[in-house]
C-alpha cells in the first residue's frame, strides 16, 4: 500500500486538496482512458521488426536492450517507465510476430564466425552443389545408372576438434579438512582432431584421428579398433599440435582415398568419379600433392573460398 499512499500524498500537495476529495484520475493521471501512449503505432512496429530481425540474424535482443530501445524511441530517460511499458506490451499481447508475445526465451550460445547461415549464403551453396553434381554427371557418362546411385558418390570431408573435459560425476581424492570439494575441469587445452568422410546416402566413410606427438602411433590396443570397428581406410596419425597441417593432410589423403573407393556401391564402380566437399581451411588448399592423389583416385575435391566453392 505504501506506493499508493505516496501517490495520494503527492497528488494532495500538488492540487491543494485533502486526500478524501481526490479522484483516481487526479491521483493516477497515466491511467486516464485515452491518455497518450508511450510509443506510437509506427514506433511499436519498429520495435517488433527490429527485435525479429536481430533474432533472425542470430543476434537476439535481450530484455535490457529492448528497454533501451524503447527509451530511445520514446525519447525518455526514465528506465522504469520504459520497462513497465514493455511489460504492458507483453501482457496485452501487442508484440505480434515475437515468440511468447515478447517474453525472453533460452538461447544457445554461439559466435559470429559460425553464424553466417543466411538466405544468400544458402543460395550460393545450393547453386555450387548443383554445379558439382553437373560436373560429376558429365564425367560419368552412364547417366541412367548414375541417377539411381549418385548419393553414394557425393559426400563431405571435414574435421572436428574434440576438447578434453569431464562428463558426468567427477570423483577426487580429497582432504578431510575441506568441506567443499571442487575440481577444475574446464580449463584443459588438450585435444585431438577427428576427420571423417560421409556420403549423401548416409554411408559412413573412413575416419582419421590426429593425436599430439611426433612419433609413430602404432599401439596394438589402438590399431585393433581401427580394423574391427572403423570403416576401411581409417587411421591414427601424429601431429605436433593435434591439428591439421599441410604435411598431415598429405599423409592422410592416400588412406582416405582408398577407404572412400572401398565404400559400398563405390567399390562396384571403380571407373565412376566421386565428389567430396570441404571447408576453406588452409591445409585443404595448400597440399597440392594431395589434390593429385584425389584426382588419381577419380575424386573431385571441392573446397570453399570466400563462401564459394573451388574445384581442385
Together in a domain, 208 and 125: yes
Q: Which of 52, 68, 102 is the last residue of a domain?
A: 102
- Which pLDDT value is given to residue 280? 65
Question: Could you tell me if 153 and 173 are in contact, meaning their C-beta atoms sit under 8 angstroms apart?
Answer: no
Residue 257 falls within a domain, yes or no?
A: yes
Q: How many domains does the chain have?
A: 2
Residue 175 falls within a domain, yes or no?
A: no
Together in a domain, 85 and 133: no
Give the burial class of 266: count Cβ atoms within 10 A of its Cβ; 0-12 exposed, 13-18 middle, 19 or more buried. buried
Together in a domain, 264 and 296: yes
Structural domain harbouring 31? 2-102
Together in a domain, 132 and 45: no
| pLDDT by position in tens, the chain (length 312) | 787 788 888 888 988 888 888 887 777 665 444 445 788 888 888 888 888 888 877 778 888 888 999 998 888 888 999 999 989 888 888 888 888 888 887 766 555 555 566 777 778 878 888 888 888 888 888 888 888 888 999 888 877 777 666 555 555 544 445 455 555 555 556 677 788 888 888 888 888 888 777 666 666 767 777 778 888 888 888 777 777 777 888 888 888 888 888 888 889 998 999 888 877 666 777 777 888 888 888 988 776 554 444 555
Q: Which of 74, 102, 130 is the last residue of a domain?
A: 102
Together in a domain, 246 and 276: yes
Q: Which of 102, 136, 158 is the last residue of a domain?
A: 102
Q: Tell the residue number behind the cell numbers 600433392, with chain if given.
A: 289
Q: Cell numbers at residue 73, please?
A: 524511441
Residue 127 falls within a domain, yes or no?
A: yes
Amino acid at each position: 500500500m505504501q506506493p499508493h499512499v505516496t501517490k495520494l500524498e503527492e497528488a494532495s500537495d500538488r492540487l491543494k486538496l485533502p486526500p478524501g476529495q481526490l479522484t483516481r484520475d487526479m491521483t493516477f493521471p497515466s491511467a486516464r482512458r485515452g491518455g497518450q501512449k508511450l510509443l506510437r503505432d509506427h514506433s511499436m512496429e519498429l520495435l517488433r521488426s527490429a527485435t525479429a530481425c536481430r533474432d533472425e540474424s542470430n543476434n537476439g535482443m535481450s530484455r535490457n536492450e529492448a528497454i533501451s530501445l524503447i527509451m530511445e524511441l520514446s525519447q525518455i530517460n526514465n528506465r522504469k517507465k520504459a520497462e513497465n511499458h514493455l511489460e504492458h506490451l507483453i501482457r496485452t499481447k501487442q508484440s505480434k510476430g515475437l515468440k511468447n508475445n515478447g517474453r525472453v526465451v533460452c538461447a544457445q550460445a554461439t559466435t559470429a564466425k559460425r553464424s553466417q547461415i543466411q538466405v544468400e549464403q544458402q543460395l550460393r551453396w545450393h547453386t555450387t552443389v548443383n554445379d558439382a553434381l553437373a560436373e560429376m554427371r558429365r564425367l560419368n557418362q552412364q547417366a541412367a545408372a548414375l541417377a539411381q546411385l549418385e548419393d553414394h558418390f557425393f559426400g563431405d570431408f571435414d574435421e572436428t576438434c574434440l576438447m578434453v573435459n569431464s562428463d558426468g560425476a567427477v570423483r577426487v581424492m580429497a582432504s578431510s579438512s575441506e568441506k567443499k570439494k571442487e575440481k577444475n575441469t574446464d580449463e584443459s587445452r588438450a585435444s585431438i582432431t577427428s576427420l571423417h568422410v560421409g556420403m549423401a546416402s548416409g554411408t559412413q566413410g573412413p575416419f582419421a584421428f590426429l593425436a599430439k606427438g611426433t612419433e609413430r602411433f602404432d599401439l596394438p590396443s589402438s590399431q585393433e579398433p581401427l580394423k574391427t570397428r572403423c570403416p576401411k581406410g581409417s587411421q591414427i596419425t601424429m601431429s605436433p599440435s593435434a591439428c591439421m597441417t599441410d604435411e598431415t593432410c598429405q599423409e592422410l589423403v592416400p588412406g582416405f582415398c582408398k577407404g572412400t573407393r572401398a565404400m559400398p556401391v563405390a567399390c562396384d564402380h571403380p571407373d565412376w568419379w566421386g565428389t567430396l566437399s570441404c571447408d576453406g581451411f588452409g591445409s585443404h588448399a595448400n597440399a597440392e600433392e594431395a589434390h593429385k592423389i584425389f584426382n588419381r583416385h577419380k575424386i573431385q575435391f571441392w573446397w570453399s573460398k570466400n563462401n564459394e566453392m573451388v574445384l581442385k
